[in-house]
Amino acid sequence: MLVTLSELLKDAKEEKYAVGAFNVPNLEAIRGVIQAAEELESPVILQHAEVHENLIGLEEIGPIMLQYAKAAKVPVAVHLDHGASYEMCVKAIRLGFTSVMYDASSKEYELNLEETKEIVKIAHAAGVSVEAELGHIFTSAVGGGEGRGSDSSDDYEDLEDVYTDPDLAKEFVEATGVDCLAIGFGTVHGIYLKEPKLDLNRILQIKEKIDVPFVMHGGSGVSEENYRTAIKNGICKINYYTYMNKAAGKAVQECLENNTEDAVFFDELSLKATAAMKDNVKAALEIFMKP
């Protein structure tokens, strides 16, 4: 059942759980995510990240995502992740995506605000939800997923310069009218090369200022305890990709290593990858969905 992001996050916010959002740059990922969600009777978000255009284009994977969402037995939002351009956001809206993320967080604050505001006007006119980002989310040098470049907390003298400022968040949300906000509090896109130091209290500080659902990017690799605290403090959407992708790669590797026959057929590898992603996504959803 295809629904908007706002519909999903409204219930998550009220019931204090988080909806898992999974990047799906191939059919195996789409199938794995939908199978996991249906088995758990959990709502879910299918995402296409703009940086995955090198793997498969939006116009090719988008209709497939929408087809699976409409046929699913659970509520599914179809979302553009880290849209970096006006053109990409409009393309997703025209395809039928029910939400878009416009990410101008690397730009000056005023430009981020003004450009996001324009995207919100366009998207809302079409009944499409909008996510934006304020602050900075680090990117690992390994498996950076949907992030860009690589950096860590060690690259900054003062983390206040990169974490989301509560007062600016209030101003930004009120001025743009975004439906949810991705905030920076120490998470990392990709593989955590060291134990993350998350400023989970910052979520509460921002929550005191504004009443919108918050989004955690770099959700793979966070401990169950930190997930639960983040959700309790106001996180309603958790982006997750790197570890499900890694699980699929490991399953394929093991299949090849354990094969004693002369021939290995790709369809077997495809099924192994789908099953591995389904299991990994189920484990994540079971954590996200518990109040």
pLDDT of 218-277, one tens digit each? 866 788 999 999 999 999 999 999 899 999 999 999 999 988 777 889 999 999 999 999
Binding site annotation covers 163? Answer: no
pLDDT category of residue 158 using cuts at 50, 70 and 90: very low
Binding site annotation covers 52? Answer: no
For 106, the domain range is 5-242+277-288
The tally of domains found in the chain comes to 1
Residue 261 forms part of a structural domain: no
Closest CA to 185 of 143, 226, 144, 241: 226
Please check the confidence at residue 156 and state whether its pLDDT lies above 70. no
Binding site annotation covers 239? Answer: yes
What is the C-alpha to C-alpha distance for residues 265 and 128, in angstroms, rounded to an integer? Answer: 41
What is the model's pLDDT at position 151?
43
CA-atom Rg of the chain in angstroms: 18
| Across 54-68, 178-192, 262-276, least confident range | 178-192
What is the C-alpha to C-alpha distance for residues 170 and 16, in angstroms, rounded to an integer? Answer: 21
Residue 226 forms part of a structural domain: yes
Binding site annotation covers 48? Answer: no
Residue 250 forms part of a structural domain: no
What is the C-alpha to C-alpha distance for residues 284 and 90, in angstroms, rounded to an integer? Answer: 31
Residue 124 forms part of a structural domain: yes
**Which positions are catalytic?**
81
Please check the confidence at residue 199 and state whether its pLDDT lies above 70. yes
Residue 67 forms part of a structural domain: yes
pLDDT tens digits, one per residue of 11-42: 999 999 999 999 999 999 999 999 999 999 99
pLDDT category of residue 185 using cuts at 50, 70 and 90: confident
What is the model's pLDDT at position 218?
80
CATH number of the domain enclosing 81: 3.20.20.70
- Whether residue 120 contacts residue 68, with contact meaning beta carbons closer than 8 Å, is answered with no
pTM of the model: 0.90
Residue 258 forms part of a structural domain: no
- Whether residue 242 contacts residue 211, with contact meaning beta carbons closer than 8 Å, is answered with no
